[in-house]
Amino acid sequence: MFFIPAYILILAVTIVIDYTAAIYISNSEGKTRKYFLIISIVSTCLVLFIFKYFNFFNANFSLIASFLHLKYPVKFINIILPIGLSFHTFQSLSYVIEVYRGNQLPEKNFGIYSLYVMFYPQLVAGPIERPQNLLHQFYEKHNFEFRRVSEGLKLMLWGLFKKVVVADRLAIYVNAVYNNSEHHTGLSLALATIFFAFQIYCDFSGYSDIAIGSAKVMGFELMTNFRRPYFSRSISEFWKRWHISLSTWFRDYLYISLGGNRVSPYRRYFNLFMTFVVSGFWHGANWTFVIWGGLNGVYLILEIWLNDVREWLFKSSFLRIITNYVLPILITFVLSCFAWIFFRANSLEQSVKIISKIGRLDGPLFMDSPTMIYSFIGLFILFLVEFEEEYSLFSISLLNNKKMAIRFGTYIFLIITILVLGVFDGGQFIYFQF
Amino acid sequence: MNNNYQKFINRFLLLSCFLIIFDTLIGRCLAVLYHETKNPTIAKMNYSFFETKADILIFGSSRGEGHYIPQIIKDSTGLECFNTSIGGEGIFYSFGLLTNVLTRYKPKLIVYDLAPNVVFDPASIDKISILLPYYKLNREIQAVVALKGSFEKYKMISSIYPYNSLLFKIITGIRKKRNDFQLSNGYKPVYGTLNYFVNSQDDRYREPQNIDTIQIIYFKKFIELCHKAQIPVIVIVSPKYYKTSQFPRTITVFKKITCSYNQLFIDNFTVDGISENSKYFKDPIHLNNIGSELFSKRIASKLKQELSK
């Protein structure tokens, strides 16, 4: 979460290891290739483990030792997690695995490889790129193109709107309620949880838009990271639309490596569950993240089981719009909100207390009128834009309208809304902590 | 490629022109409405900045706002008194306000209510935003605003930005018919009684390790400003419930600064007859209306003594 110049060395070590390993993998055959791959993966993950997970494991081992009345002399280490470590670790791993699989030639130019790992628009919070998509772009000539620069700037503007008008405004209510959850009612906690679902979406997708937009301005195409996830009609669809670069990373390098779909049903469920548990653990060294990931894995397994029932329900109803769209979207949203409670809560104990309070839904709603009104204005604009993008009911595109007056009007509206309603003292991007 | 550049620059300039026009127009409207609104906090700040001519001015945070009753002080001293304190605000707001007050007139006495808990408020720098609508008044306020970050002066190029996040307060205040704060001369009573168990080990009421040095610097500047203008200042630490921490290090630091300018420092953080009685408190750090009446009477007599010296 912090930028400490000395930590550049950590990045340098990872880069040197993976750069060298990839060349050796490419030049060797048989088991030697695998050894180099293992050396690369273990050393890259070791850095992540020390900085992110050591204290977590240490605390848990210490707890077990005290439970068993054993001496546990290992001390905690006092270090700060380098900014973006989880992201560039995964990007480096992606490179060596692709070289090992033969999908990517090893990069000979050390400067170009370093640029691949440290490409600044996506260094701190993704999208986690694949070498096949990004490396070749560093060799291409990038001329100034009006259309591309304009598209990049528009994406950055929309990302900024999502971050400062929606995410940081919602954060005021969410933090007020979640940071004092013991003093708030079930109703307030339920609203704060719904707000958090949109806060984290706008915070992270806003960052991704700014990253993708700024890369585009310079002539680089990064992968899409979000596609309106709250319009998903199932949890599996949600994960195809949410943090796409991470979920496809886990699919390609963990789920498929575990056997993917081409195994017995029970082994498949195990693969799914494990993939999501690890994904949760990637987010943070806390049991709350593990449960959040595991819960999403359980949702997906249940979804596979209930697939036949869903098909029957959606086809047999008269109110097809309700059953095909509204109901599945609502159910998916409620399930993801439930999982977000674990993601946002500070501890497992707090999550359980919050869930039990929400279950009762009693007491008055905590009102912070200005925050709530500004939040609803931001959410309303977000909904209008994303609804039209999703279903194209009116075929209106404001930011890309053919008429310049409408385009300019939209830019000015967004900039003025940011100035009037944006939160300029808001915190960092949430995903910077991972 | 040249055409691409030319087209981009042309569109960029055109958009910038429109943006400047809209920003100026909307910013001007917001400025007018900001000075017209009767939202209690905004109207009180505007009054404090541009209108009050009271002999005794009280500066502070929510504790200052709810602990000092100007009418009681007036009855005791015979001097007009106005309470400029704003909830949640600390020394930065008080300093900014004082710089502008001193350009208009010279009060006879200034009371600064030191809230030791506010000194440690992690959001104190963010709260400087309250001074944005007054940014252009003088360089001292601009220097305070600059503490928010190096980009602040560039953001202030916008005419809308100073009124960021204030639209709701401005509009709802426009519909009000009267300025409530004027009836009580800035005092904001707090009703209700402390009726729950106070855990003395609660982190919220304990003195943190590191004192905010920027706030100390601005406190010193505040006292220095009064000293230069030859206005006596009395720094008061008003009562809190006895079970919470004494903040001894903080009080010592601020007392030392105050005394170095030969000004009076009154430490009433734990005071007999008030601190031990929960019926005078709304919560562990805020007196209720009954407590503030009792405390104001005590302080008024001390102020009278000081003024008669």
Assign 3-class secondary structure to B223-288: HHHHHHCCCCEEEEECCCCCCCCCCHHHHHHHHHHHHHCCCEEEECCCCCCCCCCHHHEEECCEEC
CA distance linking residue A408 with residue A401, whole number of Å: 9
Domain-located, residue B43: no
Tell me whether residue A414 is exposed, middle or buried, using C-beta atoms within 10 angstroms of its C-beta: 0 to 12, 13 to 18, 19 or more: buried
CA distance linking residue B189 with residue B292, whole number of Å: 8
Q: What is the pLDDT of residue A189?
A: 95
Question: Using one digit for the tens of pLDDT, what is the confidence trace for B72-118?
Answer: 999 999 999 999 999 989 899 999 999 999 999 999 999 999 988 77
Contact B8 A149 (CB under 8 A): yes
Question: Using one digit for the tens of pLDDT, what is the confidence trace for A353-371?
Answer: 999 999 988 778 888 888 9
Model confidence at A2: pLDDT above 60:
no
Residue B22, phi then psi, degrees to nearest 5? -65, -40
Question: Using one digit for the tens of pLDDT, what is the confidence trace for A78-136?
Answer: 888 787 888 889 999 999 999 999 999 999 999 999 999 989 898 888 799 999 999 99
Domain-located, residue B159: no
Query: Among A348-352, A363-367, B5-9, which is the least confidently predicted range?
Result: A363-367
Domain count, chain B: 1
Instruction: For residue A434, name the pLDDT band (cuts at 50, 70, 90).
Output: low
Q: What is the pLDDT of residue B170?
A: 94
Model confidence at A316: pLDDT above 70:
no
Nearest to A143 among B1, B129, B160 (CB): B1
Question: Using one digit for the tens of pLDDT, what is the confidence trace for A152-172?
Answer: 999 999 999 999 999 999 999
Q: What is the share, in percent, of chain A residues with pLDDT greater than 90?
A: 63
Which residues in chain A are closer than 8 Å to B26, comparing Cβ atoms? 416, 420
CA distance linking residue A98 with residue A207, whole number of Å: 27
pTM: 0.88
Which residues in chain B are closer than 8 Å to A424, comparing Cβ atoms? 129, 155, 161, 164
Residue B231, domain CATH: 3.40.50.1110
Closest residue in chain A to residue B20, using alpha carbons only:
A412
Contact A370 B4 (CB under 8 A): no
CA distance linking residue A72 with residue A75, whole number of Å: 9
Contact A412 B22 (CB under 8 A): yes
Query: Among A188-192, B72-76, B185-189, B266-270, which is the least confidently predicted range?
Result: B266-270
* Structural domain spans, chain A: 5-118, 147-421
Nearest to A144 among B4, B26, B163 (CB): B4
Instruction: For residue A314, name the pLDDT band (cuts at 50, 70, 90).
Output: low
Domain-located, residue B2: no
Model confidence at A260: pLDDT above 90:
no
CA distance linking residue B136 with residue B143, whole number of Å: 11
Rg (CA), chain A: 23
Contact B8 A425 (CB under 8 A): no
Q: What domain range includes position B199?
A: 54-124+181-307
Domain-located, residue B236: yes
Q: What is the share, in percent, of chain B residues with pLDDT greater than 90?
A: 66
CA angle A48, A53, A58 (to 5 degrees): 140
State the amino acid at position A306 in one-letter form.
Answer: L
Q: What is the pLDDT of residue A305?
A: 84
Which residues of A belong to the active site? 283
Q: What is the pLDDT of residue A114?
A: 93
Nearest to B164 among A143, A411, A420 (CB): A420
Cα A338 to chain center, whole Å?
17
ipTM above 0.90, yes or no: no
Instruction: For residue A246, name the pLDDT band (cuts at 50, 70, 90).
Output: very high
Q: What is the pLDDT of residue B224?
A: 95
Average pLDDT along chain A: 89
**Which two structure tokens, joined as six digits, stand for B230?**
């030859």
CA distance linking residue B26 with residue B182, whole number of Å: 29
